[in-house]
Structure 1
Amino acid sequence: MSVSARWSDLAPRIISAIVLISVCALEIWLGGIWFQLLIGVICGVGVWELARMAERGHGVMPSLIPISAFAGVTVVLASYVPKLASVPLLILPAAVGVFFIKRDRRIFGFGTVAVMLAGGGLVHLRDQLGLEFALWLIFLVVATDIAGYFGGKLIGGPKFWPTLSPKKTWAGILSGWAAAAAVGWAFTPIAAQDGMFIFYSVAVSFASQLGDICESGVKRRAGVKDSSALIPGHGGVLDRFDALIGAALFVMLSMLLTRYPAVF
């Protein structure tokens, strides 16, 4: 592979990343209804993309368009409900929408549950735990992605999980962990945490990578290259936010099971 071909996706990735990070950073900073609306839009579009992949290119049923919109609205509404009580509300779009899917209901059902729970978790993280933890999670996911991209491209080597994600290498995975450790170290005093926060950040980094890998597996199952073509250089919304979904699910699960970090 020539050098130009090897890095052909770099420019659109950088441009799209700058735009997305700028919008997300502003919404995170504002918090409240603005951040809720952003997550609602992401979840709504993500549910539509899951329906598209579940139907495997045969078109999305018109009835699923309002369900996708309902998914976005549900995330906003769930932010005003206690976190555990919001779970039934968050999985409602999956429970209703799955009956309208004609082909692969597993992709839509399980995928929608993951997207909705992650979206609800992100809103809770920002609204109730503050700006610091929301920024920590975003910086961690972005750093993992960037370090993994360059580590995989520059070092290469053995594949991590070739059957699901042929491009992921061990070099990229470990590079992402190193970047996450650096982010965890930087945020330890800001978030008033102990040294374990660095190792916790690496665990969250791995969860974000698994989110990416799982979405790759869904695309392979559906026989598509991208979840959609909405974002130049990245494909669809799920292609850009799959890692954040994995990370958010891990953080919320640790919050419920271990109460770590202490602020949770």
Structure 2
Amino acid sequence: MTEKWSDLAVRMGSGLLMVLIGVWGIWMGGDVFHVLVAVICGLMIWELVRMIAPDQAALATQLGGVSAFAVLLAVYLPTGFALPLLLAPAMVGFGQIDKHRVTYMIFCVLVLMAGFGMMNVRDDLGFGWMVWLVMVVVVTDVVGYFAGRLIGGPKFWPRVSPKKTWAGTVAGWIGAGVVGAVFAINTEATMQLIGVSVALSMASQMGDIGESAIKRRMGVKDSSALIPGHGGVLDRFDGMLGASVFLLMLGQVSGFPGGVL
């Protein structure tokens, strides 16, 4: 097995387990899905603080727990009361972290808003649209991973993400477009869903790039070692972070999914 495929077996095993847990959570919906998303958000905040303030381990645990509780409680409240609750962990952490406060504040807000958005997609739009969102992000990542290693070629941003190539990036867009076409054919959505899926793919890649930039700035390879072959939770869900935030904005601008039905 060549060096560039050396992590494939471990990566696929961990990936399969995450897929099974994710599908189960999405299928169950309701409280089960809410708790699953809240735990993921809490772990991402914990990793974020550990990266930017490694000497404040206790604070990382506290902010992770507060963030998980905030996003879980927010989904059961009217939106007007939920919004300040989603922003509170960012403000609390901003006042306590010793350095890189702005980085923490921005990413904390993005993580909690993304989690809140995913909960609402499952609650309001149903199982099918949540599966579509996950499939776009997963296919973008998987197709990009294999295309980048098989095709190679020019790097996308070598200083920040040395393994990401233009071939893998564009292949991710194509894969997402195929997902959109499949869903459009099998639902009442129009073919505009292809374009929406490609845009969502780009947003997921932006989330990945943003997290990679933080890691390079902090001089770490992975956000943590929680997931064998994948690094940390933030490493694995950075794409979902970008896609979910974009989907939240899209809903406000176009009334999605009504705009493509």
Provide TM-score, normalisation by structure 1.
Answer: 0.94
Q: Would the aligned equivalents of 2:50 and 2:60 in 1 still touch at CA under 8 Å?
A: no
1:34 alignment partner AA: V
Match 1:123 to one of 119, 126, 135: 119
Q: Would the aligned equivalents of 2:47 and 2:60 in 1 still touch at CA under 8 Å?
A: no
Match 1:147 to one of 143, 160, 182: 143
Is 1:178 aligned to 2:201, yes or no?
no
Q: Secondary structure at the match of 1:246?
A: helix
Corresponding residue number in structure 2 for 1:205: 201
Tell me the distance in 2 between the aligned counterparts of 1:193 and 1:83.
Answer: 28
Is 1:76 aligned to 2:67, yes or no?
no
Is 1:24 aligned to 2:33, yes or no?
no
Match 1:259 to one of 246, 252, 255: 255
Worse-superposed segment, 95-104 or 241-250:
95-104
Tell me the distance in 2 between the aligned counterparts of 1:191 and 1:85.
Answer: 35
Is 1:92 aligned to 2:88, yes or no?
yes
Once superposed, which parts of structure 1, at least 4 consecutive aligned residues long, lie more than 4 Å away? none
Provide TM-score, normalisation by structure 2.
Answer: 0.95
1:26 alignment partner AA: W
Tell me the distance in 1 between the aligned counterparts of 2:259 and 2:36.
Answer: 25
Tell me the distance in 1 between the aligned counterparts of 2:3 and 2:106.
Answer: 35
Unaligned runs of 5+ in 2: none
Q: Secondary structure at the match of 2:156?
A: strand
Tell me the distance in 2 between the aligned counterparts of 1:131 and 1:36.
Answer: 14
Q: 1:63 to 1:53 in 2, by over 3 A?
A: closer
Worse-superposed segment, 93-102 or 33-42:
93-102
Tell me the distance in 1 between the aligned counterparts of 2:67 and 2:187.
Answer: 32
1:53 alignment partner AA: M
Q: 1:149 to 1:32 in 2, by over 3 A?
A: same
Corresponding residue number in structure 2 for 1:65: 61
Unaligned runs of 5+ in 1: none
Tell me the distance in 2 between the aligned counterparts of 1:16 and 1:51.
Answer: 24
Worse-superposed segment, 98-107 or 240-249:
98-107
> What is the aligned-residue RMSD (CA, Å)?
1.5
Is 1:40 aligned to 2:38, yes or no?
yes
Q: Would the aligned equivalents of 1:132 and 1:191 in 2 still touch at CA under 8 Å?
A: no
Tell me the distance in 2 between the aligned counterparts of 1:84 and 1:253.
Answer: 17
The percentage of counterpart residues that share the same residue type is 45
Q: 1:50 to 1:202 in 2, by over 3 A?
A: same
Tell me the distance in 2 between the aligned counterparts of 1:248 and 1:256.
Answer: 13
Match 2:230 to one of 225, 230, 234: 234
* Structure 1 residue 263, shift from structure 2 partner: 6.6
As a proportion of its length, which structure holds more helix?
2
Per-residue CA deviations over 1:103-136 (Å, capped at 9, x if unaligned) read 2212211111111010000000001110011000
Is 1:9 aligned to 2:7, yes or no?
yes
Corresponding residue number in structure 1 for 2:220: 224
Per-residue CA deviations over 1:46-69 (Å, capped at 9, x if unaligned) read 1111110111x3342x24423211
* Structure 1 residue 21, shift from structure 2 partner: 0.5
Tell me the distance in 1 between the aligned counterparts of 2:33 and 2:221.
Answer: 29
Corresponding residue number in structure 1 for 2:49: 51
* Structure 1 residue 198, shift from structure 2 partner: 0.6
